[in-house]
Every structure is written in C-alpha cells, then in structure tokens.
Amino acid sequence: LKPFWLKPLARRKAKTSFSELPDTRQGNMGGKKSYQNTGKTFRKPKRPFEKERLDSEMKIIGEYGLKNKREVWRVQYALAKIRTAARVLLTLDEKEEARIFQGEALLRRMVRLGLLTESEKKLDYVLGLTTAKIMERRLQTKVFKLGLAKSIHHARTLIRQRHIRVGKQICNIPSFLVRLDSEKHIDFALTSPFGGGRPGRVRRKRGKDGGAGGGGDEEED
C-alpha cells in the first residue's frame, strides 16, 4: 500500500471559463459591455499626425486661448451633430411636420446663441457654420473682446477665479456659450475686487503691513 503522498492526484474536472458562459446581460446583443455612463463629448481625429490639421488646431488654440486640443475637438463634435441634424431635416419634405417643428427649434436655438442672424433662418445656413463662429461666442472670447481682460489668457484666468458674472450669476466656465441677450450683461462680479468688492488676500496683507510700519513687502518678496 502506497503512502498518500505518493498517490497520483485525482484529475479534477476543469471548470467552465467565463468566455464559455452564455451572455445574460440585458440590452447587449452579444456585444462588448459598456461601462460608460455618459455620452461622448468629443471625437479624436482618425489620422493623428496630419500636418494641415495639426497646424490649424494649434492656430485655434493660440487665437482663442484654449487649454488643450480636446476643447477644439469638443466644439467640432458639437458642430458635426448640429450639421447632421440639419442635413437629416433637409432630406424631409418641406411640408412634413417633423421638418417644420424640429427645423424651427434648431434655427431658433442658433439665432439665440448668436450663431445665425435673423436673416439667415434657413437650414442651409446651418450647414455653413464653422468652428470659429462657435469660438467667438465663448465667454472667454467675449470677456477679452469687451476689454475686461488684458489678453485672451488673462480672460480665462479671470473666469476661473470667479471674477466674471453673466447677469447676476457668476460663471467660471470659459467655454460657456453666451446668448445674444446675455452679452450686454457680462461684467465683473460684485464680490470681485475688480467689481468693487472686498480687496484680495495680497492687497489686504500689503495694507496691513504698510499700516504696521512698512517694510513687510520687501520681506515677503
């Protein structure tokens, strides 16, 4: 009789792998499971090293003071969706109910955002929209064009540091698209030192050091 440690191990039946199990997920017809809860906001270019596109993107980033290329892609993706909607509506008959209501809603929105004028309320003009037109409606661009900032990059800093308001609401999103009726209400926030609010931390400290006898600024530097 052999000791138990010399006996050959009994072969266990191999367990079924996960790949062999049937797919029981709901709403997924045998495809790959998606863990994404939100929709896409941008689309990467198919050709990553195309010289003409790279040059044009860098020009847009420099002209409008953008953070990265994702901001350019986001605008291009939104513009592509708007154009697609207009292209689909143009294939319908002019008297069809969907084209009348959805087309009017799309044009009304474009006019409200300042992307089209009142005389351009046609779907054909929607197809002619460009990235530059949307960039011109950004809050960052408007703050610079109104003279509230010294440069396009300074405008972004003011917005992010909550110095800018649109109407009564402080807006700290540089990519916020300004409506036509809100354009005249862009100004410094009431809580901002630039808008008559309380002085900033550095100004208060300098004033305190100056009142105490001076010399504090030199030590701080």
Helix or strand or coil: residue 137?
coil
- Which is more confidently placed, 109 or 211? 109
pLDDT in tens, 71-126: 999 999 999 999 999 999 999 999 999 999 999 999 999 999 999 999 999 999 99
Contacts of 23 (CB under 8 A, 6+ apart): 30
Helix or strand or coil: residue 138?
strand
Residue written as tokens 């305190």?
Answer: 208
What percentage of the chain carries pLDDT values higher than 90?
A: 70
Mean pLDDT score, 142-148: 96
Angle at 159 between CA 111 and CA 130, to 5 degrees: 35
Mean pLDDT score, 5-9: 56
Residue 170: exposed, middle, or buried by beta-carbon count in 10 A (0-12, 13-18, 19+)? middle
